Structure 1
Amino acid sequence: MTYHSGSRAVQDRVGVRDLADHVGQAIGQGIRPVAAAFLELQPMLVVGAADPDSGAVWASLLTGKPGFVRATGPRQISVTGGAAPGDPLVPALAAAGTPVGTLALDPRTRRRMRLNGRARPTPRGFAVDADQVFSNCPKYLQKRESYETAERTPGTARRGVELSGAQGKFIESDDTFFLATVHAHGADASHRGGNPGFVRVDSPSELSWRDYPGNSMFLTLGNLAGDPRTGLLFPDWESGAVLQLTGTARTEFTEDGERTVRFALTEVIETPAASPLRWSAPEYSPANPSPDAGEQVHYPGK
């Protein structure tokens, strides 16, 4: 099944069902040779899933030497190393059959590939048996020419139930985040990008962003229509720090077709130097809309 009822409801509301059916033909279950080759070149992978105990949805950034993610069959990938100790997705990836969404994104080429399926632990990390495999266009994806691997020791994770002033300002200065959502039969990890300021911090526990026009599949908004649990991941492309947020999200629609997603925070985890990767400065996507006056960095913090 390419789309579930939530995605269909959003497609119908926006009036893009026929286009979604056409685009959805690109979703398959097999990993083509070109996709397998792409995966083996990547030093990072985003994974989204729900914690089997708390039910909270998280998105995590996994890193390793190119080849740490590889296709090991026509419908399977393996990941060496898994999530770092203390990462909120460790329990999910340790349980066999956990629905997961994965996203391999290469800022150097502005290419990305998504693979959704079910994870199971392996002696060296975990594997994912694919249900959906597909690529997305480079829209809203910032180009970063290169990266280097820095000698870093991850810092102690700091947990909270609302954003600090510094965290809020970082979010509003970032140009990329990752979004994990779930539905009754699976999970998904996706990308959101824009010029700095495209995400608003409306309060220490609330974020919002415009949903820019995309591929018309509405996998993410479709998931939110049926299950509001959401995980967000904001990376610092230079220092390697990451912010992981979990909570719930809902979509507001206007009569003129504009969409805004509003996120309510339940918990935030900040991990300094979580990633050893230091990426070069971004070249912003030419597709990025200029931020509206209301989307400028404004959060004063506490």
Structure 2
Amino acid sequence: MDTTWHPGEQALQAAVGVRERMAEIGSQIIRDHMPDQHRELFNKLPTLLLGAIDAAGQPWATMLAGPPGFITTPDARTMAVATGFDAQDPALAALRAQGPGAPVGLLGLEPHTRRRNRMNGRLLSLSGDGLAVGVVQSFGNCPKYIQARDPLAWDDTPSALARPLGAALDDGALALIEAADTVFIASASAPVPGDGRADGVDVSHRGGPPGFLRVERRLDGGITLWMPEFPGNRFFMTLGNLLRHPRAGLLVPDYARGELLHLAAEADVAWTDDARGLTLRVTGGLRRPGALPWRWSGARLAPQFTD
């Protein structure tokens, strides 16, 4: 029995004809420990993407930041992150409410080299000084669709109070979405993920030319987003999760000004010959000005968008 992939992932793998192949190689590419090259990458990153799910079953994505070295891997099955606890961060607040054992999705992405690795696990501890996570799944991702950026300067200005948003969002949030070339998405295999190897929370990257995240203003005043699905590694972890638990948490970073926009959405997976992607009906969100202390260079578009 293949325990690497849950039924949602398996359904989409079957839809594109790779189910048997993924069943064969799943245990080879999805490990229960971090290889040395993954640990080396995590240990030098200036940021870390984190996904969590709250008590209401809503996934949230966030970005943690620090000087390179703020992420350490004491051993191949443990990651420690030296980061202050911000109660305004919805993902960290969800982890604190649940405590040890809470599912966590992590993505280490080095924007200037386009390297990225993923680690999904369970929370071991969380305090005002940081958090620790035990590995359940560790795997690599290809560099496709990542816009290259360089961290330029660290801004110590304290972040402003978070601004809660309703389903209609506000002009600042809409402008950020419409200009975005990079979005992160958190998803979960169930409202309360189980303990199986394939169960838990994921956080993944989506990139495209500025404006790739299409905004529709509905007649009821709400916002619906369309996110295209570009060909990738065919793991279908995010889409597979959303087939089972159709709620997503989006993170849209403002790399120039340091704002983080967190969005909660109801998700519908479109998988036809004419349209493959996600319809995301926004249910609310949060703007956190100054929450990202790093300031970055302009984007160098991924090769897939410059041909």
TM-score normalised by L of structure 2: 0.89
Q: Which residue of 2 aligns with 1:171?
A: 177
Q: Secondary structure at the match of 1:143?
A: coil
CA RMSD of the aligned region, Å? 1.7
In structure 2, the CA distance between the partners of 1:284 and 1:139, relative to structure 1 (3 Å rule), is: same
Q: Which residue of 1 aligns with 2:105?
A: 101
How much identity, in percent, do the aligned residues show? 39
In structure 2, how many angstroms separate the alpha carbons of the residues matched to 1:160 and 1:237? 20
In structure 2, how many angstroms separate the alpha carbons of the residues matched to 1:8 and 1:207? 26
Equivalent residue runs for 1:22-33 within 5 Å: 24=26, 25-33=28-36
Q: C-alpha offsets along residues 236-257 of structure 1, whole Å, 9 cap, x if unaligned?
A: 1111101000122111122x26
Q: Contact (CA 8 Å) 1:93, 1:121: kept in 2 or not?
A: no
Q: Secondary structure at the match of 1:89?
A: helix
Q: Contact (CA 8 Å) 1:30, 1:133: kept in 2 or not?
A: yes
Q: Contact (CA 8 Å) 1:93, 1:126: kept in 2 or not?
A: no
Counterpart selection for 1:231 from 231, 249, 274: 249
Q: Which residue of 2 aligns with 1:157?
A: 162
Q: Which residue of 1 aligns with 2:228?
A: 210
Aligned: 1:249 with 2:267: yes
Q: C-alpha offsets along residues 28-55 of structure 1, whole Å, 9 cap, x if unaligned?
A: 1111222111111111111111113x32
In structure 2, the CA distance between the partners of 1:289 and 1:253, relative to structure 1 (3 Å rule), is: farther
In structure 1, how many angstroms separate the alpha carbons of the residues matched to 2:85 and 2:283? 21
Q: Secondary structure at the match of 1:247?
A: strand
Q: Which residue of 1 aligns with 2:196?
A: none
In structure 2, the CA distance between the partners of 1:175 and 1:4, relative to structure 1 (3 Å rule), is: same
Q: C-alpha offsets along residues 92-121 of structure 1, whole Å, 9 cap, x if unaligned?
A: 322111011011111011011110010132
Q: Which residue of 1 aligns with 2:210?
A: 196
Unaligned runs of 5+ residues in structure 2 are 194-198
Query: Letter of the aligned partner of 2:281 in structure 1?
Result: A
In structure 2, how many angstroms separate the alpha carbons of the residues matched to 1:171 and 1:233? 10
Aligned: 1:113 with 2:117: yes
In structure 2, the CA distance between the partners of 1:98 and 1:20, relative to structure 1 (3 Å rule), is: same
Q: Contact (CA 8 Å) 2:246, 2:267: kept in 1 or not?
A: yes
Unaligned runs of 5+ residues in structure 1 are 291-302
Q: Contact (CA 8 Å) 1:30, 1:74: kept in 2 or not?
A: yes
Aligned: 1:186 with 2:197: no
In structure 2, how many angstroms separate the alpha carbons of the residues matched to 1:31 and 1:167? 36
Q: Contact (CA 8 Å) 1:93, 1:120: kept in 2 or not?
A: no
Shift of 1:21: 4.1
In structure 1, how many angstroms separate the alpha carbons of the residues matched to 2:111 and 2:209? 15
Shift of 1:166: 2.8
Query: Letter of the aligned partner of 1:45 in structure 2?
Result: L
In structure 2, how many angstroms separate the alpha carbons of the residues matched to 1:159 and 1:45? 23
Equivalent residue runs for 1:1-12 within 5 Å: 1-12=3-14
In structure 1, how many angstroms separate the alpha carbons of the residues matched to 2:116 and 2:157? 26
In structure 2, how many angstroms separate the alpha carbons of the residues matched to 1:15 and 1:257? 18
Counterpart selection for 1:88 from 87, 90, 104: 90
* Larger deviation, residues 177-186 vs 77-86: 77-86
Query: Letter of the aligned partner of 1:137 in structure 2?
Result: C
Query: Letter of the aligned partner of 2:74 in structure 1?
Result: T
Equivalent residue runs for 1:267-286 within 5 Å: 267-286=284-303
In structure 2, the CA distance between the partners of 1:252 and 1:80, relative to structure 1 (3 Å rule), is: same
Shift of 1:26: 1.7
Q: Contact (CA 8 Å) 1:59, 1:233: kept in 2 or not?
A: yes
In structure 1, how many angstroms separate the alpha carbons of the residues matched to 2:80 and 2:74? 6
In structure 1, how many angstroms separate the alpha carbons of the residues matched to 2:73 and 2:161? 33
In structure 2, the CA distance between the partners of 1:82 and 1:92, relative to structure 1 (3 Å rule), is: farther
Counterpart selection for 1:127 from 113, 123, 132: 132
Q: Number of matched residues?
A: 288
TM-score normalised by L of structure 1: 0.90
Query: Letter of the aligned partner of 1:39 in structure 2?
Result: F
